[in-house]
Amino acid sequence: MTALHGANVALAETEVKGRPALVLDGEAAQVVVDLLGGSIADFHLQGQGVNPLSWGREGAGEGPQSMGHFLCLDRWASVSEAEAENGMPGHGEASAVPWRVVRGPEERGGFIEAEMTATLPLAGFEVRRWLRLAKDRALLTVREEVENTGALGRMYNMVQHPTIGPPFLDETTVVDANARKGYMVYSPMPNPEEPAVFWPEARKLASGDEVDMRYLGGDDDPTNAGYSFDGDYGWVAASTASKGLLIGYIWKTAEYPWLNIWRNSDEGKPVARGLEFGTTSLPLPPAAIAAKGKIFDIPLFEFLDAGQTVAKVYAAFLFEIPSDYAGTEQVALIDDRLVVRPRGTTGNRTKAIEAAAGAVERTNADLEMEVDALFIE
């Protein structure tokens, strides 16, 4: 893409790879949001240029489409035959309609901020998104509000679909998370959660053999597994040591209680990995989700009344990593700092601190950044 570092942050809309885009340009990182579908199509370090969210960008047409990190709203995955005949796409309309820049980007208090909106006519929803990129750190905070503009209340789902692709993604990429109990989402109804698995365990649908979902090399069976959480915060991180880069996400599990890991390969080569967190884990049409209701006593959908608005927030971050980085053991919020603990850390230990994810000890190998305004209220 054309280098935009140092460009006028007051520029509301530009063109990237021949498509209209919103660009947030900080000193440490750059964010590109594709306005035809609202996808976060690029999030990279200024000095490095490797974009983990490259999936779907090459060969993009002229209309709205899903790419990189896209929003699934008012559903995730399947639609009914009748809904499809009426024009409802899989994953909902949010990535299938144009988005409009309402404000920014503009620099305010050490952040580059912007606001955008989209209308989902079939769903009867209006979605507003606030983006805040730290000027001097690779930290992006996103708040999204969804309003039901219809006359009746209705069930819905909302899933963030970050999708990593090559060249960041390869056979050595490691995906880590603090997920716990899970299940094979394409197992037969009415009880796909039986028997359960525990992160990072999954099972091949064809043979039942155990699979470690942290990795993808060769066969991509199973393509998808869903997991729940025990704590107040969920996180997922993907690291590729040969590229010197880690991308991660953190959010409140009260807002997004499920993590869905999607894997896709072509002739044994990784093509895409979805690090999807949201309000559901069951990729079925709404009637089937409503009938099932819950898995592990966790709801599989939410309800939005007429005129009601719901808000949800997440943060994304990038870190440079050393060539011997073996994966992520823990991500925690400690004293207004985001701390990423490398797996197998042997650094000098300091005092123990109570963190959102549990008691941790800081080491000299930890990756850290300030997060003084992590969640936008």
Sequence ranges of the domains in the chain = 14-326
Per-residue pLDDT band for 190 (boundaries 50, 70, 90) equals: very high
Per-residue pLDDT band for 355 (boundaries 50, 70, 90) equals: very low
CATH of 14-326, one of 3.40.640.10, 3.20.20.70, 2.70.98.10, 3.40.50.720: 2.70.98.10
Query: Coil, helix or strand for 81?
Result: helix
For residue 105, pLDDT beyond 60:
yes
Per-residue pLDDT band for 1 (boundaries 50, 70, 90) equals: very low
Distance CA 108, CA 45 (A): 21
> What is the structure's pLDDT at 364?
62
Query: Average pLDDT, stretch 348-359?
Result: 40
* Among 346, 337, 338, 351, CA closest to 365: 346
Query: Coil, helix or strand for 241?
Result: helix
The tokens of 364 are what?
Answer: 């000299």
The tokens of 82 are what?
Answer: 């009748």
Say if strands 139-148 and 40-45 run parallel, antiparallel, or are unpaired.
unpaired
> What is the structure's pLDDT at 281?
98
* Among 188, 366, 368, CA closest to 292: 188
User: What is the CA angle 365-369-370, rounded to 5?
Assistant: 145
For residue 10, pLDDT beyond 50:
no
Cβ-based burial of 85 (10 A; exposed 0-12, middle 13-18, buried ≥19): exposed
- Better-predicted residue by pLDDT, 358 or 29: 29
Q: What percent of the chain has pLDDT over 90?
A: 80
pTM assigned to the model: 0.91
**What is the torsion angle, in degrees rounded to the nearest 10, for the CA atoms of residue 294, residue 295, residue 298 and residue 300?**
-50
Query: Average pLDDT, stretch 121-136?
Result: 97
- Better-predicted residue by pLDDT, 5 or 74: 74
